[in-house]
C-alpha cells in the first residue's frame, strides 16, 4: 500500500478498503486499539500478506500475523525476534526465497494452516492481555 496507509491518508484508505464512511472510521480509530483493529480487518480480506519493505516495526508484523492470513516477511533482526525461532513464521531474505515460499503455500493447504496457526500464536504473545501479565 505504500504511503496510502500513512497517517495522513489512513482515513481515506481505511474507508475505501472497509467500505465504511469517514465518520465510522474516525469513531473506530478513536477507540482503544481501534486503528489496529481496522488494519487487521483490511489484512483479513487477503489470502496472503507479504511484508517486503524494510521495517523494524514489530507491530506491523504482529498485526498481520494476528489475522490468521499466512504472512511472508522480508527478514529483519526485529522480525527474527518476533518469530522466536518458529519455522512457520516465514521470513525470507530475497526474491528467490519469496517465490519458493509462495509456491509452497500454494501447493499445500496443510502448510498454509500451520503457518496461519503459528502466526496467530506468535501474535498472541504480543497482545495487550499477554503483555499485561508480564
DSSP string covering 57-123, please?
-HHHHHHHHHTTS-EEEE--HHHHHHHTT-TTSEEESSHHHHHHHHHHHHH-HHHHHHHHHHHHHHH
**Which tens digits make up the pLDDT trace of 30-54?**
988 888 888 888 888 889 999 888 6
4 pLDDT tier (thresholds 50, 70, 90): low
pLDDT surpasses 70 at 6 = no
Amino acid at each position: 500500500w505504500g504511503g496510502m496507509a500513512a497517517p495522513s491518508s489512513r482515513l481515506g484508505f481505511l474507508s475505501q478498503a472497509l467500505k465504511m464512511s469517514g465518520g465510522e472510521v474516525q469513531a473506530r480509530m478513536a477507540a482503544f486499539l481501534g486503528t489496529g483493529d481496522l488494519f487487521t480487518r483490511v489484512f483479513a480480506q487477503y489470502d496472503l500478506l507479504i511484508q517486503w519493505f524494510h521495517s523494524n516495526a514489530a507491530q506491523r508484523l504482529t498485526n498481520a500475523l494476528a489475522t490468521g492470513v499466512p504472512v511472508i516477511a522480508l527478514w529483519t533482526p526485529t522480525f527474527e525476534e518476533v518469530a522466536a525461532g518458529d519455522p512457520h513464521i516465514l521470513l525470507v531474505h530475497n526474491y528467490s526465497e519469496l517465490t519458493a515460499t509462495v509456491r509452497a503455500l500454494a501447493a499445500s493447504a496443510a502448510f498454509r494452516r500451520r503457518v496461519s496457526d503459528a502466526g496467530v500464536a506468535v501474535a498472541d504473545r504480543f497482545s495487550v492481555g499477554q503483555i499485561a501479565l508480564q
